[in-house]
Amino acid sequence: MTEQVPNEVPSARKRGRPKGSNTGTTRAAILKAASKEFSRAGYEAASLRSVARRAGVDPALVHHYFKDKSDLFVQTMRIPVNPGEIIAEAATAPLEEMGEALTRALLATWSKPAFRTAATAMIRGLVSSSSAAKILRPFL
C-alpha cells in the first residue's frame, strides 16, 4: 500500500507580508515587480495578480498598498534619475556639440538598469493603452 499525502500546493502564498519583511521592503518589492511586469507585458496585459506573483506576495497585499492598477502604474514611474540634471549637464556643451552631448547623456542614462526598466514600462504603457496614456500625459 502507498501512503497518501494530503493535497498541498507548495507554491501557495500565505496571506500577509512575506516572513521577515516590513512595510517598506514589501512595498518596494511590489513596485520593483510591477515595473518589471509593466515593462514585460505592457499596461493592458499586466494585472495586479501577475504583479503579486512576481513579487511573491498575496494579491490582497498589492491592493493594501495601491488603490488600483493605475495607481500602481503611476507609482512605478518614479524614474530613479533626474532628467533635468541630465539635460542641464548636456546643455553645457558648445552649441555645435549639443546634439551629440544629449545623445550621449540619453545612452548613458539608458544603460542604467533601474532607469531602463521604468522607461520601458512607461513607453509600453503609452503605446498599449489609451487609459495609461491619459495617466502619463500630465506626468510627462
Whole-model pTM: value is 0.52
Rounded-to-integer distance, Cα 61 and Cα 20, Å: 15
Report domain extents, the chain.
23-139
How many other CB atoms are there within 10 angstroms of residue 129's CB atom?
A: 19
Q: Torsion angle, CA of 113/77/125/69, rounded to 10 degrees?
A: 120
pLDDT in tens, 37-89: 988 888 888 999 999 999 999 999 999 999 998 888 878 877 666 666 777 88
Residue 12 DSSP label: P
CATH fold label, 23-139:
Tetracycline Repressor; domain 2 (1.10.357)
Quick check: 19 pLDDT over 60? no
Q: Are 35 and 117 in contact (CB under 8 A)?
A: yes
Share of the chain above pLDDT 70, in %: 69
